[in-house]
Copies of this chain bind each other. A is one copy, B any other.
Amino acid sequence: ATALAVFSSDALSSVSYATEAILTILVLGGSVALGLSLPIAAAIAGLLLIVGFSYRQTIHAYPQGGGGYIVTRDNLGDLPGLVAAGALLIDYVLTVAVSISAGVAAITSLATNWGFPTLRDHAVEIALVCILIVTIANLRGAKESGFIFSIPTYAFISGILSMIVFGIAHDLMFGADPVVHSIDPDIPPTGEVLSLWLILRAFAAGCTALTGIEAISDGVQAFKPPEARNAAITLTLMISLLVTMFLGITWLAYTHQAVPNEFTHETIVSQIARTIFGVGPLYVFIQIATALILVLAANTAFADFPRLASFLSRDRFLPRQFSSRGDRLVFSNGILVLGLCSAVLVVIFQANEIAMLPLYAVGVFTSFTLSQSGMVRRHFRRKQPGWHYSAMINGIGATLTGIVLVILMVTKFVHGAWMVITAIPILVMVFRAINQHYQRVAEQLSLSGAILPPELRRHTAIVLVSGIHRGVLPALQYARSIAPDNVTAVYVDLDPEATAKLRQRWQNWGCDIPLVVLESPYRSLINPILRYIEEVESRYGDDVITVILPEFVPARWWEHLLHNQTGLLIKTALRLRGTVVTSVPYRLAR
C-alpha cells in the first residue's frame, strides 16, 4: 500500500496541472473552444490506459526493475539506449522544476484567496528555497519512511476524489456556479481560429498527464513478493485513479467555467476547489495536499536521476564521479547536478510551471517509445509462449506513443520543445565522447607490452620564488637535499625595485643557492618560467627535473581564496608538459 504512495506521487500529481495545460491552449481559441477540453481529456485518458497496459509487460519482463535506459539498451543497443537516457535525465530535471513550481502555485493561490496576493511575487524565491531543502534532505540521505511519504499522497487522492464526487453531485442537484475571479482573466473575444492545429496543441499539452507513470516499472524490485504481480496491481490501481481524477477535474473545470488567469495566477484546481467548497478548511486541505504531493513528486526525481547517472557512469558514459566507488557520498554529485539544473530552470521560467510544460513530456515520451519498441524486439527474439499477444500490446503502445511524440515535437517545437530536442543529441554526443575517452585511456595505460622505465640518474631542482620570507626557507632546504649538486632558485623580474631588494636579502637567506632572475618583457609570469625549464631540460638531458614550489598554508579556510592562485596556474602549466612538481608547504599558525 505504501508502494502505491511512494511510486505514484509523480504520476498522480500531474493532474494538478494537466487540465490547466489544456485550457491554457484552448483559451487562445476563445471561450467557445473551452468545451473541447472534455473530448481531448478523454483521448488522453484512452492513451493512458493503453500505455499503462503496455507497461504491465515491462514489469513482468524486468522484475529486477527496468528503466527506459536499461530496457532500450538491452534490446535495441547502445545508441537508442543513450537517447533514452538523455531524454530521461532532462525529464527528471523538468519533473523537479515543474512539480516545485506547481506546488508553489498551489500555495500562492491559497494565499491569494486568504488576502495575500503579493505572495505570488515571491514565487521564484519560494521555489528555490524548496529545491534547496529537497536537495539538502537528499544529500543527507534521510531514510525514506514510506509511511510519512504516504500521507500527502492519500490526502491528495481523498481530497480530489471528494471534490469530484461532491462537486458533481452538487452540480446535478443545484447546477454549477461559475468561478468568480478577483481580476477577470483575459479571454480573447474572437482570438485565434479554432483550428485542428490548436486542438493538437491542446492534446499535446495535456499529455503531461502521462509523465511519471514509468516510475513503477523502474522500481519493481522494491515491491513485496511476488514483486511483478504486486507492481502490476499497483500500476492498474494508479492508472485508474489517474484517469478518474484527470477526467473529474477537467469535467468540473468545464462545468464551473474555470479558466487560467494570467493576472492572479490562480491554479485551476484552486479555482474549482474554492468554488465548490468555499474558502474553508476543505479548500485549504486540498491546496496543502496538492503542494505536498508535488514536493514528493520532485523528491522521486532525486532518487531517479542519481541512479540513472550511476548506471551511465558504470557503463563509462558519464564521469566516474557519478558512480559509487563504494564511497558514502554515492549519489551526491547526481543530487547536486539535479538541484542546480532545476534551480536554473525555475529562475529562467520564473517558477511558471505552465510555461515549462512544453519542454516536459517530450523526454518521457521519447523514453516510452524507445522502451516499448525495445519490448517488441525482445518478444520477437525470445518468442516465449504467448509472445504474439505481448508483442502486439507493446507494439500498439510503441506506435501510439511514437505518434504522440511526433505530435509533441511538432506542436511544442517553437514553444520550448526545441530546447529539449536540441539537448538530447548533444547529451548523446557527450556520452559517447566520454566513453571513447575512457577507452583510449585504458588502452594507453595497459601494462601489456610495457617495459620498466630506466633508473633515474641525477636530480636537478628548480625552486620558484616570488620573494624571500620564512615560507621559502623549507623549500630551499628540501631542494638542496634532493639535488645537492644542481639546484637553482628562479625569480621573475616584474618590478626592478623589488628585484634589487630580493638580490640583497638573498645574500643572507639564500642558503647558498644561486638565484636566477628572469626578465619578462611582456610582464607575464608563466612564459619566462616555462622557457627557463626547457633550457634546463636541454642542458641536463639525462637528469630528472623537479620544480619545487614553496607554498604557505593560511590558518583559515577562506584565506586560501586570497592566495596561491598564481601557484595553481603554474602547477597546471607544468603538469600539462609533464614536469615533476613538488609543493613544500609552510603552515601559518594564525
Partner-B contacts on A (CB < 8 A): 319-321, 325-328, 347, 350, 434, 437-438, 440-441, 444-447, 450, 452-453, 455-456, 459, 468-471, 473-474, 477-478, 480-482, 494-495, 505, 509, 511, 522-525, 544, 546, 551-554, 556, 559, 561-562, 565, 571, 575-576, 578-590
Task: Decide if A522 touches B328 in the complex (CB within 8 Å).
Answer: yes
Copies of the chain in the assembly: 2
**A445 with B494: in contact, given A328-B522, A328-B524, A473-B452 (CB under 8 Å)?**
no
In the complex, which residues of chain B have a beta carbon less than 8 angstroms from the beta carbon of A453? 473-474, 477
Name the distance in Å between A376's Cβ and chain B's nearest Cβ. 36
Closest 3 CB pairs of A and B: A445-B469, A456-B481, A582-B582
Task: Decide if B478 touches A544 in the complex (CB within 8 Å).
Answer: yes
Task: Decide if A575 touches B583 in the complex (CB within 8 Å).
Answer: yes
Task: Decide if A440 touches B576 in the complex (CB within 8 Å).
Answer: no
Task: Decide if A327 touches B523 in the complex (CB within 8 Å).
Answer: yes
A446, A559, A589 interface centre (most CB from chain B within 10 Å): A559
Task: Decide if A319 touches B562 in the complex (CB within 8 Å).
Answer: yes
Closest to A546 in B: B582
Name the distance in Å between A109's Cβ and chain B's nearest Cβ. 22
In the complex, which residues of chain B have a beta carbon less than 8 angstroms from the beta carbon of A583? 571, 575, 580-582
In the complex, which residues of chain B have a beta carbon less than 8 angstroms from the beta carbon of A474? 453
Task: Decide if B524 touches A440 in the complex (CB within 8 Å).
Answer: no
Task: Decide if B456 touches A470 in the complex (CB within 8 Å).
Answer: no
Task: Decide if B582 touches A578 in the complex (CB within 8 Å).
Answer: no
* Bound Cα distance A446, B450 (Å): 50
Task: Decide if A576 touches B553 in the complex (CB within 8 Å).
Answer: yes
In the complex, which residues of chain B have a beta carbon less than 8 angstroms from the beta carbon of A447? 468-470, 505, 509
A469, A480, A505, A589 interface centre (most CB from chain B within 10 Å): A469
Task: Decide if B470 touches A588 in the complex (CB within 8 Å).
Answer: no
Task: Decide if A321 touches B565 in the complex (CB within 8 Å).
Answer: yes
Name the distance in Å between A290's Cβ and chain B's nearest Cβ. 27
In the complex, which residues of chain B have a beta carbon less than 8 angstroms from the beta carbon of A544? 478, 481
Task: Decide if A562 touches B450 in the complex (CB within 8 Å).
Answer: no
In the complex, which residues of chain B have a beta carbon less than 8 angstroms from the beta carbon of A559? 437
* Bound Cα distance A450, B554 (Å): 19
Task: Decide if A437 touches B562 in the complex (CB within 8 Å).
Answer: yes
In the complex, which residues of chain B have a beta carbon less than 8 angstroms from the beta carbon of A546? 582
Task: Decide if B505 touches A481 in the complex (CB within 8 Å).
Answer: no
Name the distance in Å between A233's Cβ and chain B's nearest Cβ. 38
In the complex, which residues of chain B have a beta carbon less than 8 angstroms from the beta carbon of A525? 325, 327
Name the distance in Å between A477's Cβ and chain B's nearest Cβ. 5
Q: Tell me which of B327, B556, B585 contacts A579 (CB under 8 A).
A: B585
Name the distance in Å between A329's Cβ and chain B's nearest Cβ. 9
Name the distance in Å between A377's Cβ and chain B's nearest Cβ. 32
Q: A445-B588, A456-B481 are in contact. List 18 more A-B contacts (CB 8 A).
A: A325-B494, A347-B347, A437-B556, A445-B471, A446-B469, A447-B469, A452-B511, A453-B473, A456-B477, A456-B478, A459-B482, A478-B544, A546-B582, A553-B575, A553-B576, A580-B585, A581-B582, A582-B583
* Bound Cα distance A327, B525 (Å): 8
Closest to A552 in B: B445
In the complex, which residues of chain B have a beta carbon less than 8 angstroms from the beta carbon of A494? 325-326
* Bound Cα distance A562, B433 (Å): 11
Task: Decide if A575 touches B580 in the complex (CB within 8 Å).
Answer: no
